[in-house]
Amino acid sequence: MRRIITTYIVVVVLLALGFFGVGALASAQEPELRDPMQPPPFALQKFREAKMASSPKPAQVGAAAPKPKPLQLTSILYSPERKIAIIDDQMLAVGDSIRGARLIQLTRARARLVRKGKIINLSLDDGITAISKKAAESNDL
């Protein structure tokens, strides 16, 4: 009886190894399944080439850098207690900096800045000054 059980176990083990071995061989021999909706490799290559041709070219090394937008003086808040210039929507007091330029002098209508040793003079637009003068004159009536 013991011999029959041992033989039965050996047969089962051999069959199991045989099935696993055949399964491993079958999976090794099967070609890799491909997505049926994926275009063929030559079409992908043509698409990549067309995309690269339509993309913007990188900037050349010798090309000039774009000029930065000039500083714009919008308003001046001038009183004995404080003197503030509003340049490019930023409030600056004397000594403050914006885009590498330091505010060195401020009057009621002008701001003077220095950047890399060069003086930048900004003034309020004459039209704005004229409008504010007319408004002040009309309030005096």
User: Domain coordinates of the chain in residue numbers?
Assistant: 1-29, 73-139
What tens digit of pLDDT does each residue of 39-98 get? 777 788 888 888 888 777 666 666 666 777 888 888 898 888 889 999 988 899 999 999
Length of the chain: 141
Indicate the burial class of 122 (C-beta count within 10 angstroms; 0-12, 13-18, 19 or more). Answer: buried
Phi and psi at 9, nearest 5°, equal -65, -40
Assign 92 to helix, strand or coil.
strand
Q: How many helices (H) and strands (E) does the chain have?
A: 3, 7
Which has the closest alpha carbon to 104: 90, 85, 89?
85
What was the pLDDT predicted at 141?
A: 46
pTM of the model: 0.45
Choose the CATH number for 73-139 among 1.10.3470, 1.10.10, 3.40.50, 2.30.30: 2.30.30
Residue pair 120/103 in contact (Cβ under 8 Å)? The answer is: no
